[in-house]
A and B are shown apart, each in its own frame.
Chain A
Amino acid sequence: MADRMLVEAVRMALARVMSEDETVILLGEDIGRNGGVFRATNGLLERFGEQRVRDTPIAEAAIAGLAVGLAAQGMRPVAEIQFSGFIYPCIDQLTNHASRLRTRTRGRLTCPLVIRSPSGGGIHAPEHHSESMEALLTHVPGLRVVFPSSPKRAYGLLLSAIRGPDPVVFFEPTRLYRSAKEDVDDSGEGLPLNCCFTLREGTDVTLVTWGATVIEALAAGDHAADEGVSVELIDVAILKPLDFETIRASVSKTGRAVIVHEAPISGGFGAEIAARIADEALLSLLAPVKRVAGYDVVMPLPRLEQFYLPDEPRIMAAIRDVMSYT
C-alpha cells in the first residue's frame, strides 16, 4: 500500500465519483490539459474526456454560475477555483443563488454543486494566493463548508460532498497538498458531513482547529504532554453545519478551550465556536476560551508570512495560559 499525498487523495476521490456517476462534471481554469495547477485533476481529462473535464475561460463568476445552472438541471458539477483568493467573484453566485435555490423554489430546483479551492498560506506565494476566508462562507445560510486536514479525510469528505444534495464549498489546505501523506484506501467510502474528528483524546485542554493548522496543533499536543498537560484535539473539518455537540462534550470534560485558525481573528469562525461554548458550556469552564489566529492585518508577503501564521509556540503559549488559571 502506498502513501498518498493529500492532493492525490483529492484526485482519487474525483476519479472515483466520475467513474461511478456520469453526471459529475469538472470545470475550472487549467484543470484539463494542465491537470490543475496543483495537479489535483491530473490525468482526468485523458481518462474522462473533454466534455466532462472542462478548461474554462478566466471567469470565476461564470464558473460558479455555470455550476448553478448545471446543478439545477440535475448534474453534479465540481468547479475548481484555482486559489481561494480568487473565490470572491463567486460569492455573489454562492450567496444569491446556490445557497438559496432549494428553499426559494420550495425544493422544486436544487443545487448539488461543489466548489473546490486551495486555501491558506505557508507556501511562499505571491500576493492573494495565501488567503483564508472560510468565515465569509460559513456565514451563508444554506451552504455547507468543509475543510479537511488529511489525505484520508479529504478523500472521504470530498466523496460525500459531491454525492450529497446540497451546495458545498470544499477548501483544501494548500501547504498540506504534498506534505500530508498517508495510506488512502480507494474504497469509495464517504465520510459523513455531520461530525467533527477527535484526533487525540485528553483531559486538560480541548484544542479546536481545522485545515493546515491541525499539524501545528498535533505538535502542540505532544509538546504539552511533555509538560504534563493532556490535550484533546478536535479537527472540526465540517465547519457548516457545525457538529457542536462533539466540541461541547469535550469542553465539558476538560474545562478549557483553545481555538486555532489561520484566518484573521476578528469575526473568524473561531468566534462562532467561542460564542457557542460560552452559551452551552459556560459552567464547565475553568479558564477563558482562547483563540490563536491570524492577526487582523492583510496577509503579509512571504518574508513576514511565518510571523503571521499561528505556529506551535503560539499554540503552546495559549495552552499554558489556560492551564495557569487553575
Chain B
Amino acid sequence: MKVFELPDLGEGLEGAEIVSWHVGVGDKVVLDQPMVSVETAKAVVEIPAPWSGRITQLIAKTGDIVSTGAALVALADEDSGPEDCGTVVGTLPESSSANTGDAASSTPAREPTKTSEKSIRVSPAVRRLAREAGIDLASVSGTGLGGTITTHDLEQARPASARDGYEPLRGVRRAMAINMARSAREVPGSTVTDEVDVGHWPPDADVTSRLAGALVAACSTEPALNAWCDIERMERKLWDEVHIAVAINTPDGLFIPVLRNSEKLPIAEIRRRLEKMKADVLSRRTRPEDMTGATISLSNFGMLGGLHAALAIVPPQVAILGAGRIFEAARPSVGEVKVTRILPLSLTFDHRVVTGAEAVGFLNAVIVTLGSEAVAETSRG
C-alpha cells in the first residue's frame, strides 16, 4: 500500500482545497483516471491516479486544504485485489451453512410392497362419511375396486339414517347385533336347565364368584364344555386353562371381560378380580385384549331378573352358564316342606361338539359345587 501525496500543481501554488472525490474506498482505479477535483487559486483541476490500484483510504476529506506534498490518498497495489464475488448482478451468499442435504438413498424407489400400504382402502369422502356415522372402517369389508370400501358398504354397515324413527346401531349395540347374529347363524345351541338349593348361603353371599368357582370345578369334571370348536376343520381344542368370559351389564351396554386362569385362583381372589373387572368396565378402562381368549362364558343375569334363559354362545366357545334370580320357594327336604332359596341355572351348549350327557354332567357338577358349603370355599387345587 502506498500513499499518494498532493503533487506540485505548478505556478507556485502551495496547496489546494478538496472539492470532490470521484472515487471511494474500495474502488479500483487505473493510471490517469481522475480521482479528485481540487481547487487552486486559479482553477478547479482534476488529479489523476498516479498508478493503478485500489483505494484503501481517502486521507484528505472534501473541504480540506491540503498542502503540496501532503498525503492525499492511500492506494493498494493491484495484487491485493478483492476476492472474486462470482457474479455481475446481485449478491451470492457465501455462508457455509447452506447444506442441501444428502440423499438417504439415490436409487430409484422400488415397487411399493403391499405390507407397507394401509390395509384399508377407502377414499377421502367415504372416510369422512364413516367418521360421521361412527362406523369403524376396520370392521367394514370393502366390495369396491381392489377391496375399496364403498358408500354401499357403509350403507350395509348401517341402515339409511333418513328413515323415520330409525337410529343407527353404534358402538357396543352394534357389536352386540353383529355378534348375536353370528352366534345364531353359526352355533346350534341346546339348553338344559336345573336349580340348586342355596339356602345355606349367607344373605350377603357373592353369587358371581361362587358361580365362577363352580364353573371351574365343573370344567374339571366335564372338560368337553371348556373347549373351542373349529367346525371348518372339524376340530376341537380342550383347554386346561379356564378363562371365563363374565357378562357385566353397564349403562353403556353389555361388556364381557375375561377372568383369566380362574383354575388357579382361590375364591377370594376370584371375587377380588371380579370386583376389579367390574370397576374397570364401569370406568371404561378395560382394554380390548382383556375381552379376548375366553374358553367358557358366565352370565349372572339373575342379578337383573329372570329365571331361565337360552343364552347365546360366542364362537369358538362351546358353552355358557346362566344363573337366574334367586327366589324363595318351598321345597321338600327329608320328608318336610321347607322354605328355602333356590338359584335357577341354565346351561346352553354347542350341540355339535358337546353331548347331552356331557352337558348334564357339567350342570350336575356345578350344582354339587354350589350346593356344598365346603366345596364353595376351596379351589380345585
Identify which of residues 273-326 in chain A touch chain B, using a CB-to-CB cut-off of 8 Å. 282-287, 324-326
Kindly state the interface size class of chain A when it binds its partner.
10 to 19
Whether A284 contacts B144 in the complex (CB less than 8 A), given A326-B150, A326-B151, comes out as no
Q: A326-B150, A326-B151 are in contact. Are A255 and B125 (CB under 8 A)?
A: yes
Q: Is A283's CB under 8 angstroms from B124's CB?
A: yes
Interfacial chain B residues near A286, Cβ < 8 Å: 123, 125-126, 151
Cα-based distance from A60 to B148 in the complex (angstroms): 53
Flag B238-265 by CB within 8 Å of A: 1 or 0 each. 0000000000000000000000000000
Check: B128 CB closer than 8 A to any chain A CB.
yes
Residue pair B145, A325 in contact (C-beta under 8 Å): yes
Kindly list chain B residues whose C-beta atoms are within 8 Å of the C-beta of A283. 124-125, 128
Q: Nearest chain B CB to A289's CB is how many angstroms away?
A: 11
Q: Mark B123-137, 1 if CB is under 8 A from A, else 0.
A: 111101000000000
> Interface residues, chain B, CB within 8 Å of chain A?
123-126, 128, 144-145, 148, 150-152
A285 & B144 in contact (Cβ 8 Å cutoff)? no
**Min C-beta distance of A249 to chain B, whole Å:** 15
Q: Nearest chain B CB to A267's CB is how many angstroms away?
A: 20
Q: How far is the CB of A181 from chain B (nearest CB, A)?
A: 40
The 3 A-B pairs at the shortest CB distance, nearest first, are namely A326-B150, A324-B145, A286-B123
Q: Which residue on A lies nearest to B127, using beta carbons? A: A283
Asked if residues B125 and A324 are in contact (CB atoms below 8 Å), the reply is no
Given contacts A255-B125, A284-B124, A325-B145, 20 further A-B contacts (CB under 8 A): A255-B123, A282-B124, A283-B125, A283-B128, A284-B125, A285-B124, A286-B125, A286-B151, A287-B123, A324-B144, A324-B145, A325-B123, A325-B144, A325-B148, A325-B150, A326-B123, A326-B144, A326-B148, A326-B150, A326-B151
**Is chain B's interface secondary structure helix, strand, loop, or mixed overall?**
helix
B140 shortest CB reach to chain A, Å: 13
**A326 to B124 alpha-carbon distance, docked (Å):** 12
Docked pose: A286 CA to B154 CA in angstroms: 13
How far does the alpha carbon of A260 sit from the alpha carbon of B18 in the complex, in Å? 74
Name 24 interchain pairs, CB-CB below 8 A, sorted by A. Answer: A255-B123, A255-B125, A282-B124, A283-B124, A283-B125, A284-B124, A285-B124, A285-B125, A286-B123, A286-B125, A286-B151, A287-B123, A324-B144, A324-B145, A325-B123, A325-B145, A325-B148, A326-B123, A326-B126, A326-B144, A326-B148, A326-B150, A326-B151, A326-B152
**B123: chain A residues within 8 A (beta carbon):** 255, 285-287, 325-326
Instruction: Produce 1/0 per residue, A218-257, CB < 8 A to B.
Output: 0000000000000000000000000000000000000100
**A 84-108 to B, binary, CB cutoff 8 A, 1 in contact else 0:** 0000000000000000000000000
- B148: chain A residues within 8 A (beta carbon): 325-326
Q: How far is the CA of A284 from the CA of B125 in the complex (A)?
A: 5
Q: Across the interface, which residues of B come within 8 angstroms of A284, CB to CB?
A: 124-125
Complex CA gap A236/B267 in Å reads: 78
Residue among B124, B126, B144, B151 having the largest count of chain A Cβ atoms under 10 Å: B124
Chain A residues in 8 Å Cβ range of B144: 324-326
Most buried by B among A284, A286, A287: A286
Residues of A within 8 A of B125 (CB): 255, 283-286
Cα distance, A282 to B125, chains bound together (Å): 8
Chain B residue contacts of A285, Cβ below 8 A: 123-125
Residue of A282, A283, A325 with most chain B CB atoms under a 10 A cut-off: A325
Residues of A within 8 A of B145 (CB): 324-325
Question: Can you name the residue of chain B whose Cβ is closest to the Cβ of A255?
Answer: B125
Bound Cα distance A324, B128 (Å): 19
Chain A residue contacts of B128, Cβ below 8 A:
283
**Contact partners of A282 in chain B: CB under 8 A:** 124
Residues of B close to A326: CB separation below 8 A: 123, 126, 144, 148, 150-152
A326 to B123, CA, bound (A): 9
Closest to A284 in B: B125
**Nearest CB of A to B274, in Å:** 46
Complexed CA–CA distance, A18 and B297 (Å): 92
Task: Write the nearest CB–CB distance from A277 to chain B, whole angstroms.
Answer: 11
Using CB atoms, name the residue of chain B closest to A288.
B123
Q: Quick one: closest A residue to B146, CB to CB? A: A325
- Complex Cα–Cα for A324 and B123 (A): 12
A-chain residues with CB within 8 Å of residue B126 when the two chains form the complex: 286, 326
Most buried by A among B123, B126, B128, B152: B123
A258 shortest CB reach to chain B, Å: 15
B125 nearest CB across to chain A (Å): 5
With both chains docked as a complex, state the minimum distance between the C-beta of A288 and any C-beta of chain B, in angstroms. Answer: 8
Instruction: Tell me how far the C-beta of B153 lies from the nearest C-beta in chain A, rounded to whole angstroms.
Output: 9
Docked pose: A324 CA to B125 CA in angstroms: 15
A255 to chain B, nearest CB (A): 5
| Distance (whole angstroms) from the CB of B117 to the closest CB of chain A | 14
- How distant is the Cα of A324 from the Cα of B145 in the complex, in angstroms? 6
Distance, CA A285 to CA B144, complexed state (A): 15
Query: Which A residue sits closest to B142, measured CB to CB?
Result: A326
Q: What is the distance, in angstroms, from A235's C-beta to the closest C-beta of chain B?
A: 25
Task: For the complex, give the distance between the alpha carbons of A231 and B125 in Å.
Answer: 19
Closest-CB distance, B381 to chain A (whole angstroms): 60
Inter-chain contacts of A287 with B (CB < 8 A): 123
Q: How far is the CB of B284 from chain A (nearest CB, A)?
A: 30
Contact with B along A123-166 (1 / 0, CB 8 A): 00000000000000000000000000000000000000000000
Q: Which residue of A lies closest to B151 (CB)?
A: A326
CB distance from B354 to the nearest CB of A (A): 45
Expressed in whole angstroms, the Cα–Cα distance for A255 and B127 within the complex equals 13
A287 to B128, CA, bound (A): 14
Residues of A with C-beta under 8 A to B152: 326
- For chain A residues 176-227, which have a beta carbon within 8 Å of chain B? none
How far is B149's CA from A286's CA once the two chains are assembled, in angstroms? Answer: 10
- For the complex formed, measure the closest distance between the CB of A276 and the CB atoms of chain B, giving whole angstroms: 15
In the complex, chain A residues whose CB is within 8 Å of the CB of B151: 286, 326
- Kindly report which residue of chain B lies nearest to residue A326, judged by CB atoms: B150
Q: Complex formed: what's the CA distance from A326 to B147 in Å?
A: 10
Which chain B residue lies CB-closest to A323?
Answer: B145
Nearest-neighbour CB distance to chain B for A187, whole angstroms, equals 43
Minimum CB distance partner of B123 in chain A: A286
Closest CB in chain B relative to A285 CB, distance in Å: 5
Report Cα–Cα, A195/B123, bound state, in Å.
29
